[in-house]
A and B are shown apart, each in its own frame.
Chain A
């Protein structure tokens, strides 16, 4: 009860679920990078994942749980924080915090909406029927390389993905360093560098993820 109700307890829950979601985002990027090795590589990777059978579904349920907990507690804490300052000063000047830290709940909720779109786009496969082509000799499986390369030849999805990855950059640039502070791993020597390291980690994710749709849109991957 203490963990799910107290201020620091819920902060730790946010940090731990956030860390797991961050780990997923990193592994997902590694998986995506198989696209750079051509059609065979990414289709082999996709088939490998599908061959895991029930493990995939266990993994999906865990991810759903992580998202749910992270979002529910995030919104709850934000509402409490708003209630703690019913009226603000006329003049408010911030000395240290920034746009990313002050908009965590907005970037987070927007990312949740993006994840739903992303799942409809590439997992449930309902948004763009023309890009879902069966793979040769693949027991009804879709050719992932064609799906991705054709999917990102359209401007709108590329724009949506790019904006979403900017939001991910913002979210991670505050969240990464926040994780270490929350679980008590920060001290006066790490704190000054963690802010910049956090932005760097966010930037690596941004460049890594956005490179794929942009390279496809500009015809460099085909």
Chain B
């Protein structure tokens, strides 16, 4: 099938960017979205032009590197799907597709569709860890954790840090990411020691990095390729209130 692509092209972080139009004339419905772009890039290289820069790594939906806003939605709007797992059979012959980068002050554009998501690493560095001495690997069930808490921790830990939550947020807020990283530790006993320090430090860091404030639009959950639930933002808020209390 044939497609018309409108792709955001930007030479560097401070260069002006604009949409440019490309024809993709040999698209197979079996291709992934990234494979389709690979072919467009091959044509560009053959024509002596600069290929479209975009982030990708595992191409199996688990690493969180791919990051494109497709037709106005981060990752393209298919439920619980990263760009690399989005397939061209979801599009029709003759479709026009808009491909743009994450846009948020805290995610500066490196080139074209590639953005610097180091800001999420800064949030983790501010408190998304435990520093208690854990010793060797403990015996199974030596630390008693309920099935409910373990499931909850795993649900939060599903976050792959791709940045779609902040990219989809009308306020560019990183609250879903921060809440997942706070919650995965807050529901486990190992996370209790630094619980109060963690939540305020990570929130302060997110604010300092220039992310916006959460106003409960819940766009993040809808865009999240891992379906992280906004209940974790409520959990984060509870953790914050606990941190304020003496």
Contacts and interface: CB of A to CB of B under 8 A. Distances in A.
A88 B170 CA distance: 9
Contact of A7 (B168, B207, B219): B207
B215 A104 contact: yes
A187 B234 contact: yes
Interface string A167-184: 000000010011011111
A109 to B, nearest CB: 15
B92 to A, nearest CB: 17
Contacts of B172: 81, 84-85
Interface stretch (B38-46, B51-59, B138-146, B237-245): B237-245
B200 A12 contact: no
Interface stretch (B26-34, B69-77, B187-195): B69-77
Interface stretch (A48-56, A93-101, A203-211): A93-101
Main secondary structure of the interface of B (DSSP, over half): mixed
A185 interface: yes
Chain B, interface residues (CB within 8 Å), range: 35 or more
A95 B216 contact: no
A186 B233 CA distance: 9
Interface in A23-82: 77, 80-81
A89 B212 contact: no
A181 B230 contact: yes
Chain A, interface residues (CB within 8 Å), range: 35 or more
Contacts of A91: 69, 71-72, 98, 100
B235 A101 contact: no
A110 interface: no
B84 interface: no
Nearest to A175: B216
Interface of A: 2-3, 6-12, 77, 80-81, 83-97, 101-102, 104, 174, 177-178, 180-188, 191
Given A7-B206, A182-B237, 17 more contacts: A6-B203, A7-B213, A8-B214, A8-B240, A11-B237, A84-B171, A91-B100, A94-B217, A94-B219, A95-B73, A95-B222, A96-B219, A96-B221, A96-B222, A97-B170, A101-B216, A181-B237
